[in-house]
Amino acid sequence: MALTVAVQMDPIQAIRIAGDTTFALLLEAQSRGHTLLHYTPDRLSMRDGRVTARVEPLRVQDVEGDHAHLGAQERIDLATVDVVLMRQDPPFDLAYITATHLLERIHPQTLVVNNPFEVRNAPEKLFVTAYPELMPPTLITRDKQEIEAFRAEHGAVVMKPLHGHGGAAVLRVLPEDPNFGSMFDLFSVTFREPWVVQRFLPRITEGDKRIILVDGEPLGAVNRVPAANDIRSNMVRGGKGGATALTPREQEICAAIGPELRRRGLILVGIDVIDGNLTEINVTSPTGIRAIKRLGGPDLAVPVWDAIEAKVTKPQSA
């Protein structure tokens, strides 16, 4: 059954398609005969209870620099489409949260992927703390004394903003670090939210594994190895992806969280695992699909759309 699919994303003209998961999803949707509509979050509106957007018809092709062709804009009621893909990149700020509130008005009659209520209530570095037995020791605070006590117990730590993304402002703090006071001051004036402080995992040099779960099932992974002299494995920060398989510990982690992801309607999720430790559960706009395929793994856009189509074509209460 052909669907009408609206994608809420950053401007499609500016994306780098080689590593863009949203683009992979659009290619697969188009190949199935679905109609694509594109809009950016700033074109989302609500008036008298109706959620609308100024959208453009979209055609895509896997050609860098000539990858997207847009038609004329028109305002539509998003309740009239079958699926909305909420795929704009973080930051997870008030604008992002507001978008989840608006899209919640049309879901599930229009299927929003991922479920906007659950996206709002599962911030990636907080949701993961529901599974402390799977994580490294973790502290969330702005309290300097608490951080110092945590460092005294665990030695080297990693500090990062609670709602950060893409590896930005991720810092390693040594056990005896003369820069800690300055780091604390910098974080204090830069970020209003608490910070995540975790025990440093030395085997990060061997990779930070991104595992993609589709409707709660782990279907592919890429091992991201940091660049020299960096602890950040994000590929936008210079990390290099490599083919990989899941270890028994990683399978255990996926089995523990998978049912809850499915229950929450989080169809496409990317988790991060370092040395058998779960560090993040990414639900806003997880990436990794194109890297996994490029490295010889499956095209995970296929099962993602299988899952979406199954949910659209069966009663939403099922």
Name the residues annotated as catalytic: 125, 160, 210, 224, 232, 272, 280, 282
| Cβ atoms within 10 Å, residue 239 | 21
- Rounded CA separation 29/23 (Å): 10
Continuous segment of H or E residues that includes residue 68: strand 68-70
Q: Which amino acid is present at 128?
A: V
Q: Which of 226, 222, 225, 224 is nearest to 244 (CA)?
A: 222
Q: Which amino acid is present at 1?
A: M
For tokens 């847009």, the residue is 70
- Rounded CA separation 13/68 (Å): 7
Q: Which of 125, 103, 101, 124 is nearest to 112 (CA)?
A: 103
- Rounded CA separation 168/227 (Å): 15
| 210: Cα separation from own chain's centroid | 11
Q: Cα separations (Å) of 29 from 2, 5, 150, 245, 305?
A: 9, 8, 47, 27, 7
Considering only the C-alpha atoms of the chain, give the largest distance between any 2 of them, rounded to a whole number of Å: 62
| Cβ atoms within 10 Å, residue 99 | 19
Contact between 35 and 83 under an 8 Å Cβ cutoff? The reply is no
